């Protein structure tokens, strides 16, 4: 990208009064939380104690509200102001006066860029834009300048804003002041509301959690609270979580640091918490209560695995993350997206139908100049990534149209829009299938084509490899696919990029199942032309999943034939899987993938000779169950219980490498669910040897009310 070499002349855009003041003279004024009828501010006049007044002025420059405060030394001379009685969706200016003498002396006023606008009420039509920034330091001035030029309605400081990384309170305060006093930041926060949360560095320690940073989190919280003008900071004594209601969009600023590793999780007492019980209940209740069309769950760390040695991501706490996702789905809460930072590059992931609709997962970082390319790692749900410096993200919620529209723009400080994603509200509304269509992720009937016929669509269409053919009338209800083992034939699922981005190795496997899903089912019909010879080492795989381009095991789904141990009249239908092994007792430990199996089931060869056989396997984090022709034939207990590990592309008629252990014969009616089918559902799926067409429709609230 073009170097940011033209920064100097842009300083002319700053208010002249702001440029004239020495940087050490004052911090702020800063506009913080703004609501429909009230607003919060802070101001530090320097290392002096003063009696201060903040006055809000209307369009006629008449005072409509005031708030008095003092710059006490105990609060590092930071004065806080809270004004009430304002009108919604109204432009105001304000001034700060020194009351220490006999008469008020203005310290800063409207000519210095002191302005704000109150929020429109929820339910009213309008448009609002928030800028999200993480990983910022003194090199981030071009980002603050660009955000100022855009004229956004809200600035969200999403963590590592600023970098603290110290134990003592005095240095924490110094770093907060230095961060807010750089020229473009100083100008921006005077007229653009700024709120935020923290991540590891402003929490006080790289990769820090509530245990490893216990010696400093009190000091870093004190400095954070002093230099932010929020209406709320966590419980009032612990944590910093809070929310901002912008009318069309509500932003939930989560705190994944304060309580992390400090106690049992509210969703699983055997595991350590991330959010803590109080914040967990606040998140759920706040989502229930929200009436904003669009809801953004924002924090510093990311929602998926960083895939490095650090444990500060929501993959470490997958049980709380997934319990939150399941809660959103079960409560049918519309309009939710998630957002993170931390990793010094930007990404866009889509977790398909994860919460009853597609969950868009945005990562924005860095706002400074240090990029970490090694963290641009594989993930099956990855749509796009960028390894550029000086990045930020804007989210624009527009309720003037029907349906309302949320637009995400990944931006560079030079004005470049790297990626734009427009999401209509009706695509963020819960919709569910019914009966066997509930949680149906993929279905390849092979009657007319190799396409996936579920709502997930073409991203999971099958591709024929090595000349595998579809037999038009060779299946149970129509077509089927015929595999020739000696031709190394198979079907490949979900391994092609579906946009204009060049296909990267880390994009090589898209996942039909949920990431780290607690349950799933696969079903297929097979008619082998041959089976592995007794006593031989051949293996004929029906299907197996894989992580394309990754050294990690990805065979969460794995089923194939191999020779039985002793009886030549029997064949082994063997299952494998890969699960997450929970982290150990150390506060910095991570969950790891654990290959489990083989799980052996020896059956009569006659069941797979000259006939169609129905094979179903269900997974529920504790057991694998194998069904043949609608009846359970094996129940395998997992030695180590756990949800599925990350997986990606799927091979039908072969194992994860594609060639070498291929199936010989016909396969038909392959389907995947993100839940474990009940025994009666498996029987209905078999239907006496006449499988029904699966219901692929989903239904919800078409109007988005």
The pLDDT value recorded for residue 507 is: 42
Structural domain count of the chain: 3
The pLDDT value recorded for residue 495 is: 53
Q: Across all residues in the chain, what is the average pLDDT?
A: 92
In a domain, 704, yes or no: no
The residue-averaged pLDDT of 379-395 equals 96
Does 67 share its domain with 132? Answer: no
Give the Cα separation of 307 and 309 in Å (integer): 7
Does 106 share its domain with 216? Answer: no
The pLDDT value recorded for residue 552 is: 77
Does 194 share its domain with 108? Answer: no
Give the Cα separation of 26 and 571 in Å (integer): 80
For the stretch 271-318, pLDDT in tens is 999 999 999 999 999 999 999 999 999 999 999 999 998 999 999 999
Does 227 share its domain with 314? Answer: yes
- Among the candidates 431, 466, 497, a domain finishes at 431
- Among the candidates 57, 92, 118, a domain finishes at 118
In a domain, 2, yes or no: no
pTM of the model: 0.94
In a domain, 705, yes or no: no
Give the Cα separation of 648 and 488 in Å (integer): 21
Does 477 share its domain with 624? Answer: yes
The pLDDT value recorded for residue 588 is: 79
Does 464 share its domain with 593? Answer: yes
For the stretch 679-699, pLDDT in tens is 999 999 999 999 999 999 988
Using a pLDDT cut of 90, give the percent of the chain over it.
Answer: 87
How far is residue 165 CA from its own chain's centroid?
Answer: 26
State the Cα torsion 183-186-188-194 to the nearest 10°. Answer: 140
In a domain, 500, yes or no: yes
For the stretch 154-211, pLDDT in tens is 999 999 999 999 999 999 999 999 999 999 999 999 999 999 999 999 999 999 999 9
Rounded to the nearest 10 degrees, the angle between the axes of helix 183-191 and helix 169-180 is: 80
The residue-averaged pLDDT of 662-674 equals 98
- DSSP-assigned letters across all residues of 396-440: EEE-SSSS-EEEEEEEETTS-EEEEEEEEGGGSS-EE--GGGTTE
The residue-averaged pLDDT of 429-445 equals 96
For the stretch 325-343, pLDDT in tens is 999 999 999 999 999 999 9
The pLDDT value recorded for residue 102 is: 81
Tokens for 555?
A: 């065979």
Does 275 share its domain with 127? Answer: yes
Whether pLDDT at 504 is above 60: no
In a domain, 31, yes or no: yes
State yes or no: cis peptide before 319, omega within 30 of 0. no
CATH number at residue 266: 3.60.21.70
**Are the C-beta atoms of 126 and 399 separated by less than 8 Å?**
yes
Does 542 share its domain with 654? Answer: yes
Does 267 share its domain with 325? Answer: yes
Does 402 share its domain with 482? Answer: no
- Of the given ranges (274-283, 344-353, 580-589), which has the lowest mean pLDDT? 580-589
pLDDT band at 396 (very low <50, low <70, confident <90, very high): very high
The pLDDT value recorded for residue 14 is: 44
Nearest to 661 by CA among 555, 548, 549, 524: 555
In a domain, 697, yes or no: no
Could you give the angle at the alpha carbon of 371 between the alpha carbons of 368 and 375, nearest 5°? Answer: 135
pLDDT band at 590 (very low <50, low <70, confident <90, very high): confident
In a domain, 10, yes or no: no
The pLDDT value recorded for residue 459 is: 86
- Among the candidates 431, 451, 469, a domain finishes at 431
- Of the given ranges (141-150, 577-586, 649-658), which has the lowest mean pLDDT? 577-586
**Are the C-beta atoms of 480 and 668 separated by less than 8 Å?**
yes
The residue-averaged pLDDT of 597-612 equals 97
Q: Which residue has the higher pLDDT, 120 or 499?
A: 120
The residue-averaged pLDDT of 15-19 equals 38
Tokens for 32?
A: 């913080």
Full domain range(s) for residue 666: 439-691
The residue-averaged pLDDT of 45-69 equals 97
The residue-averaged pLDDT of 526-550 equals 92
For the stretch 94-146, pLDDT in tens is 999 999 988 999 999 999 999 999 999 878 899 999 999 999 999 999 999 99
The pLDDT value recorded for residue 511 is: 78
**Are the C-beta atoms of 425 and 396 separated by less than 8 Å?**
no
Give the Cα separation of 597 and 498 in Å (integer): 34
In a domain, 17, yes or no: no
Give the Cα separation of 133 and 147 in Å (integer): 10
Nearest to 379 by CA among 321, 304, 436, 326: 304
CATH number at residue 52: 2.60.40.380
For tokens 């993100």, the residue is: 674
Does 456 share its domain with 469? Answer: yes
3-state SS class at 631: strand
Does 389 share its domain with 468? Answer: no
For the stretch 449-464, pLDDT in tens is 999 999 998 889 999 9
Nearest to 91 by CA among 114, 126, 116, 67: 116
> Residue 605 burial (CB < 10 Å; 0-12/13-18/19+)?
middle
CATH number at residue 550: 2.60.120.200
């Amino acid at each position: 990208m073009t170097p940011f070499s033209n920064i100097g002349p842009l300083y002319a855009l700053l208010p002249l009064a702001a440029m004239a003041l020495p940087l050490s003279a004052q911090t702020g004024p800063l506009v913080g939380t703004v609501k429909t009828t009230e607003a919060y501010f802070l101001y530090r006049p320097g290392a002096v104690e003063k009696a201060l007044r903040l006055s809000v002025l209307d369009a006629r420059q008449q005072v409509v509200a005031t708030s008095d405060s003092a710059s006490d030394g105990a609060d590092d001379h930071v004065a806080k102001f809270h004004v009430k009685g304002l009108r919604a969706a109204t432009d105001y200016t304000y001034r700060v006066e020194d009351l220490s003498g006999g008469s008020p002396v203005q310290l800063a006023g409207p000519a210095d860029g002191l302005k704000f606008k109150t929020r429109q009420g929820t339910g009213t039509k309008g448009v609002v834009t928030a800028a999200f920034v993480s990983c910022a330091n003194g090199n981030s001035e071009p980002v603050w300048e660009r955000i100022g030029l855009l004229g956004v309605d809200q600035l969200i400081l999403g963590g590592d804003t600023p970098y603290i990384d110290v134990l003592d309170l005095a240095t924490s305060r110094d770093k907060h002041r230095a961060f807010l006093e750089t020229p473009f930041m100083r100008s921006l926060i005077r007229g653009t509301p700024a709120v935020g949360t923290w991540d590891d560095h402003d929490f006080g320690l790289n990769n820090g959690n509530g245990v490893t940073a216990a010696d400093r989190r009190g000091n870093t919280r004190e400095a954070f609270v002093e230099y932010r003008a929020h209406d709320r900071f966590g419980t009032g004594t612990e944590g910093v979580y809070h929310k901002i209601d912008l009318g069309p969009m509500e932003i939930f600023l989560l705190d994944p640091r304060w309580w992390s590793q400090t106690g049992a999780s509210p969703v699983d007492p055997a595991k350590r918490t991330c959010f803590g019980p109080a914040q967990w209940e606040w998140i759920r209740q706040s989502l229930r209560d929200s009436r904003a069309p669009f809801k953004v769950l924002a924090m510093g760390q990311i929602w998926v695995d960083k895939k490095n040695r650090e444990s500060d991501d929501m993959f470490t706490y997958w049980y709380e993350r997934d319990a939150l996702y399941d809660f959103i789905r079960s409560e049918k809460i519309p309009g939710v997206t998630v957002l993170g930072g931390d990793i010094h590059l930007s990404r866009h992931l889509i977790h398909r139908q994860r919460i009853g609709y597609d969950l868009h997962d945005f990562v924005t970082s860095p706002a400074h100049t240090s990029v970490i390319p090694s963290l641009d790692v594989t993930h099956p749900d990855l749509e796009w990534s960028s390894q550029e410096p000086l990045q930020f993200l804007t989210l624009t919620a527009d309720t003037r149209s029907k349906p309302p529209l949320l637009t995400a723009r990944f931006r560079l400080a030079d004005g470049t829009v790297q990626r734009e994603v427009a999401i209509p509200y009706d695509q963020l509304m819960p919709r569910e299938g019914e009966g066997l269509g509930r949680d149906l992720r993929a279905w390849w009937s092979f009657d007319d084509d190799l396409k996936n016929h579920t709502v997930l669509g073409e991203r999971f269409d099958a591709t024929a490899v090595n000349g595998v053919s579809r037999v038009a009338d060779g299946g149970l209800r129509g077509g089927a696919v015929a595999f020739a083992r000696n031709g190394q034939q198979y079907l490949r699922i979900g391994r092609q990029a579906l946009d204009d981005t060049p296909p990267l190795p880390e994009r090589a496997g898209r996942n039909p199942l949920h990431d780290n899903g607690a349950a799933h089912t696969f079903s297929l019909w097979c008619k082998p032309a041959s089976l592995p010879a007794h006593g031989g080492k051949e293996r004929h795989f029906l299907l197996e999943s894989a992580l394309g381009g990754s050294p990690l095991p990805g065979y969460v789904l794995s089923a194939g034939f191999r020779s039985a141990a002793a009886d030549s009249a029997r064949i082994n239908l063997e299952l494998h899987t890969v699960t997450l092994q929970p982290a150990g007792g150390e506060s910095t430990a991570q969950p790891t993938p654990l290959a489990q199996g083989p799980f052996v089931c020896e059956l009569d060869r006659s069941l797979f000779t000259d006939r169609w056989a129905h094979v179903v396997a269900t997974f529920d984090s504790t057991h694998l169950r194998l069904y043949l022709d609608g009846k359970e034939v094996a129940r395998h207990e997992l030695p180590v219980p756990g949800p599925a590990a990350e997986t990606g592309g799927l091979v039908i008629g072969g194992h994860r490498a594609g060639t070498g252990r291929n199936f010989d014969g016909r396969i038909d009616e392959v389907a995947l669910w993100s839940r474990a089918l009940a025994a009666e559902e498996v029987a209905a799926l078999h239907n006496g040897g006449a499988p029904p067409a699966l219901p692929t429709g989903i239904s919800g609230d078409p109007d988005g009310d």
